[in-house]
Amino acid sequence: MPKMRAVDAAVAILEKEGATTAFGLPGAAINPFYSAMRAHGGIHHVLARHVEGASHMAEGFTRAKPGNIGICIGTSGPAGTDMITGLYSAMADSIPILCITGQAPVAKLHKEDFQAVDIASIAGPVTKMAVTVMEAGQVPGTFQKAFHEMRTGRPGPVLIDLPIDVQQTMIEFDPDTYEPLQVHKPAATRKQLEKALDMLTAAEKPLIVAGGGIINANASEQLVELAELLNIPVIPTLMGWGTIPDDHELMAGMVGLQTSHRYGNATMLESDFVIGIGNRWANRHTGALDVYTKGRTFVHIDIEPTQIGRVFAPDFGIVSDAGAALSGLVEVARERKEQQGLPDWNAWVKDCAQRKSMLQRKTNFTNVPVKPQRVYQEMNSAFGRDTRYVSTIGLSQIAGAQFLHVYEARNWINCGQAGPLGWTLPAALGVAQASPGETVVALSGDYDFQFMIEELAVGAQFQLPYIHVVVNNSYLGLIRQAQRGFEMDYHVSLAFENVNAPELDGYGVDHIKVAEGLGCKAIRVREADDLQAAFEKARALMQEYRVPVVVEVILERVTNISMGAAGIDAINEFEDLAESSDDAPTAISLLV
């Protein structure tokens, strides 16, 4: 049996498991691992400027392509604690990433050694597995188990903590005999699927709610096949957006208090049966449960048993991988259609389509400073069907979800549950790393953009071109809007007179100069009619210089975006609604 350092075995396992792209920062306690990557030569490494940024890059990389597992690497102590936000957001959204940290020597773990912290205990609540490896011989088995955990059941992140002496200890390991552990995913039984279909076919106005689990299972084609076979509408969740193209006749819109369409909420309220697949009934999707569930029968299919009944008890629950369930439902439904026929829901489908073509919000504003709705209208015109959008939180993300269009799975990459400010920029870099040659467009408010703005230098250094649209109202817009209920506007303004940039007229930070100082290109837009030219120029700059390009749009300071605080039947529409197709010229279904 060959002998090698434990870290050399670990890096060989990364290659065997197909995880060969890492984001991180070296440091004293993790340098042995970096020496192993250098000796191996097959692990591509991107040097981040902050370890939290590295963890979000790993997330973006995983989310971008089926089968990807992003790796985040850092040294001991604060590097691990900096990863916690990334681990939390990955855990919340069922995203597998592998975080590897260095650690003080085993003999000094309980002696308050420099940067010695019990990171495994800290990370435990936000990972599927977090372990400090105390014996070098356990390193191969720990890494093998880590990959199995990340891929088994509900996917999620893992943290492996490696004391510096463990990393360098010689062990017996033969990479040629290493095999990844087989992953078994739960699958619905034929009887369960038949019962679910019985309940569905008894309904007059059925819907499918398509969650992010369908994207994790790489099963969007099966979803569309089932919807078309049954001829029933689909409501994607925010995490499931793109599982069915926005312009598909059976795409009925998104539902919720914030990231929703007027027609989506109206259709949900008209329905009498809902089958949710790979979703978790998030509160910003459901709103008040009495409104959401009243008069409707529910079937819930999810890979994680504890998700069934977590938010509300469905009428029937099935524990199953989304892909397995969809394939089984297609098979059962096709047999029934051939043998006895299926109900005719064509009238219901037409009703949903009519709502989609009537219940629109206005986007075609001509105000200066620019209204945000107009920005998304112009983005729809500028960017094609294959565009991959990346966003995390704030009024920018909420309005983006209301007005942008997504046509494929993994073309809306969003941090759903955790929503940490600063996530967008590093996640977009991870997506760009995973998607060379594809159009990646990030969307941020000014505060989200400022949180991890230093990571722009990573895009410049490693030539990771993408377009970052920054809608700048110099406000914590979502928090300001939430403070309306308290009749205050308190510590949410980011405006100040910048002595170095008086031309900003009090908007504060000069994002253009900062972006340029970090090695990127940047464009400022003040009038909506200039947006198309700015986006065209951004594409040209991106192609010429192979760096991120920032397009900053100066917005009006205060805009309230449509949302509700209670049920999906009580959404506040603060702006004018569309009355003709001219009011919403890029709506997915033109107003009739």
Q: Give the H/E segment covering residue 310.
A: none
DSSP string, 233-301: -EEE-STTTTSS-TTSTTB----SSSS--HHHHHHHHH-SEEEEES----HHHH-SHHHHHTT-EEEEE
Q: Which strand (E) or helix (H) includes residue 365?
A: none
User: Average pLDDT, stretch 535-546?
Assistant: 97
Of 395, 411, 407, 403, which Cα lies nearest the Cα of 377? Answer: 403
pLDDT at 1 over 80: no
Rounded mean pLDDT of 58-72? 97
Task: Name the residue with tokens 């030569």.
Answer: 41
Q: What is the CA radius of gyration of the chain?
A: 25
List Cα–Cα distances, 142 to 24, 100, 112, 374, 547, in angstroms.
Answer: 20, 12, 25, 51, 38
Average pLDDT over residues 161-182: 96
Long-range contacts of 562-566 (CB under 8 A, 24+ apart): 562/262, 562/361, 562/402, 563/257, 563/258, 563/398, 563/481, 564/257, 564/258, 564/287, 565/257, 565/485, 566/287, 566/288, 566/291
DSSP 83-107: THHHHHHHHHTT--EEEEEEE--GG
At residue 590, does pLDDT exceed 80? no
What are the structure tokens assigned to 445, written together?
A: 């408010």
Q: Quote the mean pLDDT of the chain.
A: 95
Supply the pLDDT for residue 592. 62
Q: What is the dihedral of CA 415, 11, 100, 392, to 10 degrees?
A: -10
* Integer Cα distance of 302 and 284 in angstroms: 19
**Residue 414, pLDDT above cutoff 70:** yes
Determine what percent of the chain is predicted with pLDDT higher than 90: 92
Count CB atoms within 10 A of the CB of residue 282.
17
Tens-place pLDDT, residues 340-349: 899 999 999 9
Q: Look at residues 298, 89, 329 and name the one whose alpha carbon lies nearest to residue 212.
A: 89
> Would you state the pLDDT for residue 233?
98
Separation of alpha carbons 394 and 362, rounded Å: 20
- Do 5 and 32 contact (CB within 8 A), yes or no? yes
Q: What is the rounded distance in angstroms from the CA atom of residue 301 to the CA atom of residue 231?
A: 20
Residue 399 pLDDT: 95
Burial call 331-352: b when 16+ CB within 10 Å, e when fewer: ebbeebeeeeebeebeebbebb
Q: Residues 233-237: what's their mean pLDDT?
A: 98
How is residue 46 written in tokens? 């991107």
Nearest to 12 by CA among 249, 234, 173, 247: 173
Which residue, 258, 528, 230, is CA-closest to 369?
Answer: 528
Euclidean distance between CA atoms 401 and 389, whole angstroms: 10
Provide the pLDDT for residue 477.
83
pLDDT at 479 over 90: no
Which percentage of the chain shows pLDDT scores above 70?
100
Q: Which residue has the higher pLDDT, 520 or 480?
A: 520
pLDDT at 80 over 70: yes
- pLDDT given at position 9: 98
Identify the sign of the CA torsion 300, 302, 306, 310: negative
What's the rounded mean pLDDT across residues 431-436?
97
Q: What is the pLDDT of residues 368-408, one digit of tens each?
A: 999 999 999 999 999 999 999 999 989 999 999 999 999 99
Angstrom distance (rounded) from CA 405 to CA 376: 9
Q: Burial code of 427-454, b = ≥16 C-beta within 10 A, e = fewer? A: bbbbbbbbbeeebbbbbbbbbbbbbbbb
109, pLDDT greater than 90: no
Q: How many Cα neighbours within 13 Å face the side chain of 138?
A: 12
State the burial class of residue 171 (Cβ atoms within 10 Å of its Cβ: 0-12, 13-18, 19+): buried
CB 471 within 8 Å of CB 372: yes
Residue 50 tokens read as 């902050």
Per-residue pLDDT of 269-300, as tens digits, reads 999 999 999 999 999 999 999 999 999 999 99
The pLDDT of 474-496, averaged and rounded, is 89
- Tokens 């406000």 belong to residue: 475
